[in-house]
Chain A
Amino acid sequence: MTETPARKPRPRRTFSAFGDVRKMPSEYEIMTHAQNWTLRENRTSAFEQNPSSAPNLWFLTYRDNSPLQAQDWDAYRDPDSLTYRAYVNLQSEAEAKVAGVLETHAEAGSDAQLPAGSVALLGHLFTPTRYLCHGFQQVEAYIGYMAPSSYITNAAAFCTADFLRRVTNVAYRTRELQVAWPDSGIGSAERSLWETHDGWQPARKAVEYALVSYDWGEAFTALNLVLAPTLDDVLLTQLGQVAKGNGDDLSWLLTSLLAADSRRRDRWSRQLAELTIAQRPDNRAVLDKWIGRWSQLADDAAHGLGQLLASLTEGAVRADDVAAHARAARERHLASLLDPASDETTAATG
């Protein structure tokens, strides 16, 4: 016997799925890593059923064969490392703040003191957003359903809930404003504004198109990289500024508080886009094409809302400026993402 006895392996301290790691994975990683069995290695199909069943073909087409590819999607980490526990802690605190603001303003009777112009502004540009945000909620849920890693699914899952949070806050305010201003149309006119008002149609078109963009990578690009950053700039940032200028502190505070969710979404989405390019520079062209296509729709939507905003502020703001501001916000979000700055890396790996 000349063989050396095998060294006794170190006792395992964490899941073998992490490989032979010396550093203990974080609680976030333990709870998030490789949770989706339809992504297991060496599978013949996503689902344990007829390989040519409709669900298997759908996942093959829109997830596994998406133009957006990466060597290792499980290398992705949410920069906020959100777990369920962290999420409900974070959002119950955030909602407590919202409740404080709402209560203070209810006690002060703020809504009754709003000038008619402010009421009209909210009724046209704020309360109808529950439809838009619900559409976003659906698209985000789809991204979570289809994503190629549980790290991505979980980020999208929390983000889906964030959109419901936003719809909930809009609904609450809709009722308060309806009570204070029963003849304003608030609480009854939203659906018709959303479906027929010229200012809303480009936004509705964008979200309807996003709902039928079934490639998971395109859905992610459409919503998280383009539409949401662009339209949040109009509907949270710019609307909040206008409200503040009108003395409507409540709307300004509420939009500012809700914007925290958008910033968190921007952080993880940007991080994911960067990962795809770092792992596979060819993804730059894929994202570029999609960003181009969706930016056009997003710009049109921002411009439509800009026209609404202009008409409701009696020309204090211009539609073109609103659209430009929104575009600039998106461009900041995407800044240098597609720059061929890492061409050396491309050359090295290609």
Chain B
Amino acid sequence: MALLKREEWQGFVRDVDWSYSYVDDSAVFPEWHCGTGKVPREAWSAWEEDYKVSYPEYVATQREKEASAYAVKSALQRSTTFDHLDEGWKSATKMHFGGVALVEYAAVLAELKMARFGLNGAWRNMATFGQLDELRHAQITTFFGHEFIGKDAQYDWTQKAFHTNDWVLISLRNLFDGMMIAPNVVDLAIELPLTFETGFTNLQFVALASDALESGDVNFANMISSIQTDEARHSQQGGPTLEILVEHDPVRAQWVIDKAFWGSARAFAALTGPAMDYYTPLEHRKQSYREFMEEWIIDQFVHTIEEYGLKKPWYWDEFMRGLDIWHHGLQMGLWYWRPTLWWRPKAGVSKDERAWLAEKYPNWEKVFGDKWDVLIDNVNANNLEATLPETLPWLCSTCHLPACNATQSRDGTWRVRDWSLQYDGRTYHFCTNGCRQIFWKDRDNVNHQTLIDRFLAGQIQPMDVGGILGYMGLTPDVMGDDPDYEAWTKDYVGRPVEGISLAAQS
């Protein structure tokens, strides 16, 4: 006689809710932690995950996965692969380790929050597996990044990045605090597992895994594809939650998704966009960022929300136009403010690379080409100083990224626009109309200072570039610089200089 099948007994594991009588239900499940809102409390009893798992199955499967992930790592330990990787690719991995390791840990806290405050026992159990999964991801990412510190000090930021006030990290903390650790669990389940994990992590994990393999970084590809295999299990907390919310409060459901999608899109434009379209060596690129977004994110996202009876977000046209603009503007910003990065950003605008960009983004030369030409001519004139920042960019009060999005005016010119609004006697500035609308609608960021606000308020001393870099936690051994100026400027040596480069040189 064998063991009972899971289906025969799992009902008891899921059936663990009871009626409180020594304390109030609303004390055990406070509204701002749980966010039941217009959904009647009893409606959550219908919450059911699609894909069931039991504890013994979980530990057995995960043990195998861990064994094989670490076996690949130790097999590669003595290889010299790392030393031969392209600097651009290494930069993509540094950005990944620093930008992701502790986000996985934020997800541990998010899952623990759902394991405590989830409105159904089965949900809380699923979150208990979820927090273990995220712990795995935080640990494996941290450990793999740690291995390279001896070779390159920038990998120290695997752990350090999120403890600093670097502008990239302020932006990411603001996003992930708001959609992972701090929100009520209903919003959280829709923002993190549904919008973020079933959508955007595909971009970082699937796209980057294939770029990693192309670039010869088997270790990295192995790590992230192993992580990706866990997502299906815990990401399913979003579906049943959304289903119940849509039934009782579709307006809120739409808003929660719209907001999380927008915030994620901004962050991925800043990080994954440059990594895919500029850092990955040309010969190893599979798809452009835009193509990848269209295939993996947009189609799937639209399909998912329509399945739940929701509509495309109100900002859809602005978002779609941004696919040709946002990450290119941010790439220029990242490169220009390169001393504030913990990686070495490639410019990635040699003639061949520009031809590729122009093919993938027909407006690229018109909007960005002339700006890069100025930088190129300054590099070729040995005037590197002119390519380094002396001022700060204006940061958006919602996404905390530089306001650097060009939009086309009626007369056909492209200009970076400022969207602003007055609130409580103060003028707030935004990078996009979408960011402004989100700020106005939820006001989570009221009274929250951007890095620029802090600077202007005198919180950063001394008030110069050195003071700012210190405030951001940057040390000379880590500060980013272009890994190879010649690589992208040599194509243009000797050409006539025009426009503002000429003015700068005279």
Instruction: Identify the stretch in A6-14, A248-256, A287-295, A328-336 within 8 Å (CB) of chain B at 4 or more residues.
Output: A6-14
**A264 CB–B CB distance under 8 Å:** no
| Given A17-B160, A36-B109, A157-B108; A208-B22 close (CB under 8 Å) | yes
Q: Are B445 and A49 in contact (CB under 8 A)?
A: yes
| Given A36-B105, A85-B66, A161-B128; A92-B112 close (CB under 8 Å) | no
Selected from B10, B13, B127, B153, the residue in CB contact (under 8 A) with A12 is B153
Q: Are A31 and B16 in contact (CB under 8 A)?
A: no
**B448 CB–A CB distance under 8 Å:** yes
| Given A17-B160, A195-B19; A142-B3 close (CB under 8 Å) | no
Selected from B1, B23, B143, the residue in CB contact (under 8 A) with A209 is B23
**B431 CB–A CB distance under 8 Å:** no
Within the complex, the shortest CB–CB distance from B477 to chain A, in Å, comes to 8
Q: How far is the CA of A341 from the CA of B120 in the complex (A)?
A: 46
Question: By CB atoms of chain B within 10 A, which of A47, A98, A156, A158 has the most?
Answer: A47
- Residues of B contacting A14 with CB < 8 Å? 146, 149
Q: Are B149 and A138 in contact (CB under 8 A)?
A: no
**A48 CB–B CB distance under 8 Å:** yes
Within the complex, the shortest CB–CB distance from A54 to chain B, in Å, comes to 5
- Residues of B contacting A165 with CB < 8 Å? 55
**B497 CB–A CB distance under 8 Å:** no
| Given A47-B182, A48-B448; A88-B9 close (CB under 8 Å) | no
Interface residues of B in 90-132 (CB under 8 A from A): 101-102, 105-106, 108-109, 112-113, 115-116, 121, 124-125, 127-129, 131-132
Q: Are B2 and A208 in contact (CB under 8 A)?
A: no
- Residues of A contacting B43 with CB < 8 Å? none
For A55-99 the 0/1 string (1 means CB < 8 A from B) is 110000000000000000000000000011101110110011011
Within the complex, the shortest CB–CB distance from B444 to chain A, in Å, comes to 5
Binding site secondary structure of chain B: helix
Within the complex, the shortest CB–CB distance from B67 to chain A, in Å, comes to 8
Within the complex, the shortest CB–CB distance from B141 to chain A, in Å, comes to 10
Selected from B3, B102, B448, the residue in CB contact (under 8 A) with A102 is B3
Instruction: Identify the stretch in A169-177, A224-232, A237-245, A310-318 within 8 Å (CB) of chain B at 4 or more residues.
Output: A169-177
Within the complex, the shortest CB–CB distance from A47 to chain B, in Å, comes to 4
| A-B contact list, 30 entries, CB within 8 Å | A15-B158, A17-B159, A31-B142, A35-B142, A36-B102, A36-B105, A38-B109, A40-B164, A42-B165, A49-B178, A49-B445, A83-B139, A84-B139, A88-B63, A88-B66, A89-B63, A91-B55, A130-B16, A131-B18, A145-B109, A157-B112, A160-B131, A161-B55, A164-B13, A164-B128, A164-B129, A175-B8, A191-B15, A208-B23, A209-B22
Nearest 4 A-B pairs (CB), nearest first?
A: A171-B12, A175-B9, A141-B115, A55-B182
Mark A residues whose CB is within 8 Å of B: 11-17, 27, 30-38, 40-42, 47-56, 83-85, 87-89, 91-92, 95-96, 98-99, 102-103, 106-107, 109, 130-131, 134, 137-139, 141-142, 144-145, 150, 153-154, 156-158, 160-161, 164-165, 167-168, 170-172, 174-176, 187, 191, 194-195, 204-205, 208-209, 211-212
